[in-house]
Amino acid sequence: MVHRCPRLTAIATAIAALSVAALASPAAAQTLGDGLLVPAHTLRTTVEYGRDRWDQYWEGGLKRSNDNIGTLTTESATWSAAYGVGRRLTVVATLPYVWTRASEGVLHGMHGAQDLTVAAKFRLLEAPIAGRATLRALVVAGAGAPTTDYTPDFLPLSIGLGSRQLIGRAAAHLQDRTGLFADGSVGHAWRSNVTIDRPSYYTDGHLVLSDEVAMPDVTDWMVAGGYQGGRLCLPVGLMGQRTLGGGDIRRQDMPFVSNRMNFVRMHARAMYTLPLPAAPVIELGAMRTLSGRNVGQSTTLIGGLTYAVRL
């Protein structure tokens, strides 16, 4: 059996699709951005806790702080599941519950179930390389939608953006017999318009007399590498997002739901498979925003636990 491990996925807007561990092998991953599949007829479930904090953010290209917010903290508890339908097909589902709060000012935090994301991953290619490595290539298709009637028009304290999405991805995974591995993926999300609770709004230099907001699509990318040996897996990498349209936060104004939100983040994670029945996997990770536009310069800490069963 080939050992596999996961990598950190974006907690920006608290959307992740994680499911890790195998019945008798070290940590194995299922994210929308990796090139791995769950073994046939195996169900993997994960519960993951994330804590994201920032006290400085980019207002357009200007980095600043805001005494009306102080430090913004976003916590999330995410349930994820992945099932191996066959050797080449895996289905993945994820649903976060999110809390937000500001340390200063009078703005109240929000909490609630966010967006359900469901996707299918299909392996196009699995090929040996030079007798020592294996290359896998996958395509991913999925959709996401809010599960509650939360308001997206209260950023940065909103728990989500409230938009339905169609998701397409391509991913590759290269595993060497020494335990070294590399991953890469690119993706695109087509987003629906959202409705806000006011008859007009101002964005990108224009007054719009409507309660409907056009949401720009987004693209993202990820590169990662690391080492998998025995029960331990240590991945590290970079990830980025680019919004295909939208305006900047206006000077001294709150963020708006259709603002462009671009970033580059570095992430690292450690996973260990416990020598127990069902081989539960514990994981700890961290992520730091290196650059951005209309996002906070945040630090994220993550912890999770995964179990797997054969059905």
pLDDT of residue 2: 35
Residue 7 lies inside a defined structural domain of this protein: no
Tokens 């339908």 belong to which residue? 85
Tokens, residue 221: 């990318």
pLDDT values of the chain reduced to their tens digit, one per residue, 311 residues: 333 453 333 333 333 322 222 222 333 445 666 777 888 999 999 999 999 999 999 999 999 999 999 999 999 999 999 999 999 999 999 999 999 999 999 999 999 999 999 999 999 999 999 989 999 999 999 999 999 999 999 999 999 999 999 999 999 999 999 999 999 999 999 999 999 999 999 998 889 999 999 999 999 999 999 998 889 999 999 999 999 999 999 988 999 999 999 999 999 999 999 988 878 999 999 999 999 999 999 999 999 999 988 88
Residue 297 lies inside a defined structural domain of this protein: yes
Residue 2 lies inside a defined structural domain of this protein: no
pLDDT of residue 267: 96
Residue 3 lies inside a defined structural domain of this protein: no
Is pTM beyond 0.95 here?
A: no
Residue 5 lies inside a defined structural domain of this protein: no
Reference 47, options 20, 13, 22; nearest CA is 20
Other CB atoms within a 10 A radius of the CB of residue 243 amount to: 22
Can you give the residue range of the structural domain that contains 85?
12-310
Distance, in Å, from the CA atom of 127 to the CA atom of 179, rounded to the nearest integer, reads 17
The CATH code of the domain that includes 123 is 2.40.160.40
pLDDT of residue 205: 86
Reference 11, options 307, 225, 233, 288; nearest CA is 288
Range 65-70 contact pairs with CB under 8 angstroms and sequence separation of 24 or more: 67/104, 67/105, 68/102, 68/104, 68/105, 68/106, 68/107, 69/102, 69/103, 69/104, 69/105, 69/107, 69/156, 70/102, 70/103, 70/104, 70/105
Sign of CA dihedral 19, 23, 27, 33: negative
pLDDT of residue 301: 98
Residue 1 lies inside a defined structural domain of this protein: no
For the chain, how many structural domains are there in total? Answer: 1
